[in-house]
Structure 1
Amino acid sequence: MKTAIVGAGAMGQLFGARLQLAGTDVVFLDTNQATIDVLNARGVTLQTESRTEHTPARAARASELDETFDLFIIFTKGFHTQAAVASIAHLIGAESCGLTLQNGLGNAERLQEYFGPSKTLLGVTDFPADLSAPGMVSSNSRGKVRLGALGNVPRLPNIAQLLDSADLHAAVEQDIRIPVWEKVAFNAALNTLSAVTGLTVGGIGADPHARGLVASVLEETLAVAGRLQIDVSRQRIEAALDNAFAHHTHHKTSMLMDREAGRPTEIDTIGGAVVRLGQDNGVSTPVLATLCELVRTAARPGDNR
């Protein structure tokens, strides 16, 4: 299955390398010429707790190509989704499928505009991915991928099998909205709060006031999901938060790192998306709404907020 990885950051390089090592024809699509040049020259080296693997890589800007792909996997930040998918429109064939494994809400709906409901998939993953340098990715072998669709996608089992055969531990979910919203609840609490306070995950876990805010954001997010009849599990989310507080004490969330670097944040596709859906469905989210406004206020001049 000829596959394009759209967004060759840490997660894109991890998934692209895994697929290519398993025999899939992969092309990395990105807009950063330095990343493209390094991938073409050096390939991707993947380090896990048990081994180091290397694969050559082919990378390009989408505008430089004139070919179609069977599968596109989107790994850009949520605020880039619309532009990213528009940039690959000329590469989408009649049978091409699009898969988003991005954080946040609304990405699958953007993909549906180009791929259609019967060829759009979404999912979540808990694989970590860190770049020590372009083309040098560290991860582990314990993560998994959970896949599904908002409509009927006949090729969903085949794509799950493709990812699973690449040691990405993929499985199909009957209602993919549940894991998506459980991850959104987790990120809405930790990302927004860390971006506002500058605290690491461990710092949030150690502060009773911060823990109280986490509990409030979780309560509000669960209320919105409940109004949308999405049967999320409070217990699973709380267990994930407790695990993060215990084992990721020095971790900075991506939103905090983006804010510190003066980059745009995903506030509008994570916490902000929950707030908007709450407003549309008559559910009040005062704590999360305030945290989102504080993130936007703290963004540096020139940020795309």
Structure 2
Amino acid sequence: MMNVVIAGAGSIGLLLGSFLAEAGMAVTFFVRREEQAALIQHRGIQRINQDATTSTYHVEATTDIACLPTPSLWIVAVKFTGMRDLLSEMQQAKVDNPMLFVQNGLAHLELVQNAAMPHVAFATVEHGARRVDDRSVSHNGVGRLTIAPAWGDSHLFEKVGQAHSAVFPVGYHDDAEQILMRKVFINCMINPLTAILQMKNGELLTNTHSRELFDTLFSELMTAFPEMLTVLPYEAVAEVCRKTANNQSSMLTDRLAGRPMEIETIVTAIIRKANERNQSVQLLTMLETMLYAIDGAREE
């Protein structure tokens, strides 16, 4: 039986853990809070499926890095803001397991590249998911888990594909940076607008005014990054909105929960890349300013 450690039990961590456990893998969550670890250990994790049925899976959970199983494949599902602390803790504990990183944005790429890890892959998750409580996740839209090995032994990540199904598609890609760029463009199209307008993903297409902003933002990004048009045509982004129509974006979820939004690693990262090309992304820059204003107003 394959051992999988999932660092972080937010919406994506819980969703991945549920499908991997369903596929027969031995899943252990590495979390920060004792209360969450005890709850997961005692009651397992629960996935609320799209047909309103629920699925419960027995998994392990701990806050002690020394208690994690070895050998095991790690899936790092913490947000970028928690990455530095986690990588430092892993280094001190001499963790050298194969690592699969599933963060939003681009900023984590440089962090991981500067860390001494023998086997690394990056992945993008396009499912709609919402954490209901410390052990439960609502699966709000079928997307795709795409894995791209970066260095080390790529075969170590192939077993994740055993979880592939119609409701949990798993695919592989040979260019980690390209899949991360594709996902961050999707995030740039959806997250800022939904967070500022406080809309669900699907409303970006059904509301006339938000659709106009959505279309303008797409044109602006593709003018600055024309090579992305073949990787991410307009209809592909629109289809993500449709498949996750009833989902709140991660940025809107953070705003409503009073947490800092992932602005730097998603929005600011793309603006910097555009500036390096001497390209202007005026709408995205305005949205960035509004997002930082919202975060700043909460801190005052």
**TM-score of the two chains, using structure 2 as the length reference:** 0.84
Give the C-alpha shift of residue 214 in structure 1.
1.9
- What letter matches 1:185 in structure 2? F
Offset of residue 263 of structure 1: 0.6
Residues 70-219 of structure 1 mapped to structure 2, 5 A cutoff = 70-94=72-96, 96-116=97-117, 119-139=119-139, 142-150=142-150, 152-154=151-153, 156-160=154-158, 162-167=159-164, 168-219=168-219
AA paired with 2:23? A
What's 2:59 paired with?
Answer: 57
For residues 220-242 of structure 1, give each alpha carbon's deviation from its aligned partner in whole angstroms, at most 9, with x where no partner exists. 4334544xx6674342xx22333
CA contact (8 A) 1:125 1:143 kept: yes
> What secondary structure sits across from 2:259 in the alignment?
coil
Residue 279 to residue 149, structure 1, CA distance change in 2 (3 Å) = farther
- Mean Cα deviation higher: 139-148 or 261-270: 139-148
CA 1:36 to 1:66, structure 2 compared with 1: closer, same or farther past 3 Å?
Answer: closer
The Cα of 1:36 is off from its aligned counterpart by 1.4
Q: Which amino acid aligns with 2:188?
A: A
Q: Which runs of 5+ in 1 are unaligned?
A: none
Matches of 1:131 and 1:169 in 2, distance apart?
Answer: 20
The alpha-carbon deviation at position 130 of structure 1 amounts to 2.9
The size of the alignment, in residue pairs, is: 295
Change (3 A) 1:301 1:104: same
Mapped partners of 1:158, 1:171: distance in 2: 15
**Cα RMSD (Å) of the superposition?**
2.9
User: How far, CA to CA, are the matches of 1:2 and 1:300 in structure 2?
Assistant: 41
Measured at CA, do residues 240 and 91 of structure 1 come closer, stay the same or move farther in structure 2, by a change above 3 Å? farther
**Pairwise CA distance, 1:177:** 3.1
What residue is the counterpart of 1:273 in the other structure?
269
Q: Could you list the per-position Cα deviations for residues 54-81 of structure 1 after superposition, in whole angstroms to 9, with x for gaps in the alignment? A: 3222212245647655322111122222
Q: Decide whether the 8 Å contact of 1:225 with 1:232 is kept in 2.
A: no
Segments of 5+ residues of structure 2 without an aligned counterpart are: none
C-alpha separation between the residues in 1 aligned to 2:93 and 2:27? Answer: 14
Give the corresponding residue for 2:45. 44
State the match for 1:221 in structure 2: 221
SS, match of residue 98 in structure 2: strand
Task: Say if 1:200 and 1:253, in contact at 8 Å, map to a contact too.
Answer: yes
Larger mean CA deviation between 274-283 and 203-212 belongs to: 203-212
Identity, % of aligned positions: 22
Q: Is the 8 A contact 2:127 2:144 kept in 1?
A: yes
TM-score where L is the length of structure 1: 0.83
How far apart in 2 are the matches of 1:231 and 1:279?
Answer: 19
The question of 1:259 aligning with 2:255 is answered yes
Change (3 A) 1:246 1:130: closer
More moved, 47-56 vs 256-265: 47-56
CA drift of 1:191 comes to 0.8
Q: Deviations over 1:245-290 (max 9, x none)?
A: 5555443322122112211101111111101122233222221111
Q: Residue 294 of structure 1 aligns with which residue?
A: 290
**Residue 25 of structure 1, CA deviation:** 3.2
